A and B are shown apart, each in its own frame.
Chain A
Amino acid sequence: MTGEFRKWPEFSWLSDTDTWKSAEKITAGIDIGTTSSQAAVFADDELFGYASIHTGADFTLAANTVIAKALASSALSVGDIGTIAATGFGRRNVLYATKTQDEISCIAKGARFIYGPAVTTVLDMGGQTTKAILLHEWDRVREFEVSDKCATGMGRHIETAAEILRVPLTEMGDRSLETENDPEPVSTTCFNFAYSEMMSLFREGYKEDMYKENEVIASYLFAVAWRILGTVGKLAPLDIGDIKIKEVLGFTGGLAKNKGITKRIERELNITAIEGKHDPQLAAAIGAALLA
């Protein structure tokens, strides 16, 4: 495998102002995930810079690289940042962090920043885990669920699927939506069953036909969406009081950019997710910076 199909574009942004010089408080949030790493820098609660990169095998190297990219050409250095909160799987590898923060709180806080106060249900779909979070009307977590073992590593393995199918990861979602009738999902028992069934279809010669190939991708991503819905479903297994999936849903995490997954989740939940003002992959880093 060459790795060319699994790649997604890294990105960064830096404010063209120098507001940080007069800022009373500069904070940063570093989210080191299994697949991607993000950094967000705030000057007096205003977003000043951010970056997202592939994590790779070395969490410490990823932590050092991502903050350097977020600060980019600014004259700001890590030493100028008052508090740096690390979160994500590799949070303990952020050697320059001044504190660590749990992912659930960070994602919840970051989602409110990205989607505004209206968002009440956050669905974070990352490389390793899926988290479904219900928020109070105010800025607190009401309830949350984390995916079980049968869905662990799902996000990361979609990259592997892209590589094996030789379909660019960034195109998978759109390609899966090009089918005339959305096919049934492949096995929804667990993500590994889905993966193996998808591979069986692939071996049966579906690669020969572009349209059929799209169907295989659609079936596979539908199964992934189904596993994610399993986590969401546990949030509201009972209709008790006002605890139920609210209609204002916001997606976060890397898979939030895969329309083949988000559109199917929206369709099954009969909800249209709201649009955010920032990249949903930044949610945990933004939240960490705000909680720092």
Chain B
Amino acid sequence: MKTFKEILENRHAYAKSWKAKTGRKVLGFYDTYFPEEVAYAAGLMPVRILAEHEADDVTDRLMYGNCYCTRDMLNQFARGRYDYIDGLVSIESCQWWYNAFDTTLIMFPDLFSHYLFTPDYLDARTSKDVMRSELSVFAERLEEWLGTKITDEKLDDAINVYNKNRALLRRIYELRRFDTPVILGSETMEIMLANQVMDKAEANVMLESLLSDIEKREPYQDCVRLMLLGSETYDVSLERLVESLGANVVVDELDNGTGCIANDVIPLKDRLMAIGLRYLGKPHSALKDSIWRRRQERIFQLYEDWQADGVIIAKQIYCHPHGTDMYAVWKLLRERNIPYITFERDTTLPQEETRLAVEGLISQIEPGRTRIAGWSRSGAKTG
């Protein structure tokens, strides 16, 4: 059976093979606020555009000043990596993502494209109606493009597939709560990233099989447990670096980590409203955590629940949502005496500087580290 790691590393080949096998179309998207269920119900495979690290001689001329992730996304389109993509959707989100979307469409005007407005104030009174209306417009555009009808039955099927997918991924995260987890941070993030570029029905089969295999694994040793915050990452180099230093990332608060699996679509008669409410109700991303600030308490809750000992904040350089969010996160961590480090990265990880900082953090934590009431693999409390 293919592994998630293999799919992640060969994601373009996977998508091309899926298209050849099913004869259906692939829709690219950027942000986890994109309501994939609607596209899935239309028969599309939503594929998240992920950044890589590749020499870039294109984007300096086209969108200088963007973060390197979004520049690389455009670079990959320019180099033909995404030549199998039939359509591209952007939502109301980070300005850099929008620039990448807009510039890609200038280069590839024949792509089906749609801009889906998701309210910035997620909790405002009118947000649910605005979101419902936007989803309706999006569904109509898909129907027109594909010549198909998005029925309630198709939406129900998509909701079930995606709810199951999120539930299975949450089970993977639950396994990381144990003092001696059976899955590492790097393995989990590989699964999370691969899952975002896969057909979710196939991903669900693979996840069920993986969960059954993991149960038979020997647990990893108890070690310094770290939480990862900050901008999204598109590889697992940081998690691997942490593991090479004898620690483990046990939980994250990343948009493409816990942020995209925390809640499900609760069935309603109005399916589009149900989907809209799920996306409005998901944990606030840094960009949308304005006015009603909820991220700090969520971060602390995750930190406590997964018994982390310290925090790594890895911000992508020029990432403005996390640049402004960091101040509030620092405040929280300092007020609660939580050890942390902050650094900037781009699509690559500065290995030695990061190693220096992570080693320092581990040394800071290790002498005073206690496990007051941890959880064993069987779920029983240990002293």
Interface residues of A (CB under 8 A from B): 89, 102-105, 128-129, 131, 140-141, 143-149, 152, 234, 237-238, 240-241, 243
Across the interface, name the chain A residue whose C-beta is closest to B245: A102
Number of cross-chain contacts by CB at 8 Å: 66
Contact (Cβ within 8 A) A243 B334: yes
Contact (Cβ within 8 A) B367 A146: no
Q: CA A105 – CA B363 in complex, angstroms?
A: 7
B65 to chain A, nearest CB (A): 13
B323 to chain A, nearest CB (A): 12
Contact (Cβ within 8 A) B363 A102: yes
Is B327 interfacial (CB-CB < 8 Å)? yes
Contact (Cβ within 8 A) B359 A103: yes
Contact (Cβ within 8 A) B331 A234: no
Is B92 interfacial (CB-CB < 8 Å)? no
Is B267 interfacial (CB-CB < 8 Å)? no
B333 to chain A, nearest CB (A): 10
Contact (Cβ within 8 A) B344 A103: no
Which of B327, B339, B360, B367 is within 8 Å of A102, CB to CB?
A: B360
Contact indicator per residue, chain B 325-356, by CB within 8 Å of chain A (1) or not (0): 00100110011000101111110001011001
Contact (Cβ within 8 A) B360 A148: no
Q: CA A89 – CA B331 in complex, angstroms?
A: 31
Across the interface, name the chain B residue whose C-beta is closest to A142: B364
Chain B residues contacting A243 (CB-CB under 8 Å) are 334
Closest 5 CB pairs of A and B: A104-B360, A102-B359, A146-B357, A105-B363, A148-B344
Chain A residues contacting B317 (CB-CB under 8 Å) are 148-149
Which of B331, B334, B350, B359 is within 8 Å of A104, CB to CB?
A: B359
Chain B residues contacting A241 (CB-CB under 8 Å) are 334-335
Interface centre among A131, A145, A146, A241 (most CB of B within 10 A): A146
Contact (Cβ within 8 A) B356 A129: yes
Which of A102, A129, A141, A240 is within 8 Å of B353, CB to CB?
A: A129
User: B296-344: which have CB < 8 Å to A?
Assistant: 317, 327, 330-331, 334-335, 339, 341-344
Q: CA A146 – CA B353 in complex, angstroms?
A: 8
Is B158 interfacial (CB-CB < 8 Å)? no
Q: CA A146 – CA B345 in complex, angstroms?
A: 13
Chain B residues contacting A105 (CB-CB under 8 Å) are 360, 363
Contact (Cβ within 8 A) B356 A103: yes
Is B362 interfacial (CB-CB < 8 Å)? yes
A282 to chain B, nearest CB (A): 18
Across the interface, name the chain B residue whose C-beta is closest to A291: B363
**Given A105-B360, A149-B353; 19 other pairs, CB 8 A cutoff:** A102-B356, A103-B356, A103-B359, A104-B357, A104-B363, A128-B352, A129-B353, A140-B367, A144-B341, A144-B357, A144-B360, A146-B356, A146-B360, A147-B353, A148-B317, A148-B343, A152-B353, A238-B330, A243-B334
B287 to chain A, nearest CB (A): 21
Across the interface, name the chain A residue whose C-beta is closest to B334: A240
Chain A residues contacting B345 (CB-CB under 8 Å) are 149
Chain B residues contacting A141 (CB-CB under 8 Å) are 360, 363-364
Chain A residues contacting B327 (CB-CB under 8 Å) are 237-238
B332 to chain A, nearest CB (A): 10
Which of B346, B352, B362, B364 is within 8 Å of A89, CB to CB?
A: B352
The contact sample of 9 A-B pairs, CB cut-off 8 A, is A103-B359, A141-B363, A144-B364, A147-B353, A148-B317, A149-B346, A152-B350, A152-B353, A241-B335
Contact indicator per residue, chain B 173-216, by CB within 8 Å of chain A (1) or not (0): 00000000000000000000000000000000000000000000
Q: CA A234 – CA B317 in complex, angstroms?
A: 16
Contact (Cβ within 8 A) B343 A146: yes
Chain B residues contacting A149 (CB-CB under 8 Å) are 317, 344-346, 350, 353
Contact (Cβ within 8 A) A103 B360: yes
Chain A residues contacting B357 (CB-CB under 8 Å) are 104, 144, 146
A102-B363, A238-B334, A240-B334 are known contacts. Are A145 and B352 too (CB-CB below 8 A)? no
Contact (Cβ within 8 A) B356 A237: no
Across the interface, name the chain B residue whose C-beta is closest to A103: B356
Q: CA A105 – CA B327 in complex, angstroms?
A: 26
B180 to chain A, nearest CB (A): 24
A102 to chain B, nearest CB (A): 3
Across the interface, name the chain A residue whose C-beta is closest to B352: A89
Q: CA A243 – CA B339 in complex, angstroms?
A: 13
Q: CA A155 – CA B360 in complex, angstroms?
A: 21
A129-B353, A146-B357, A149-B317 are known contacts. Are A240 and B363 too (CB-CB below 8 A)? no
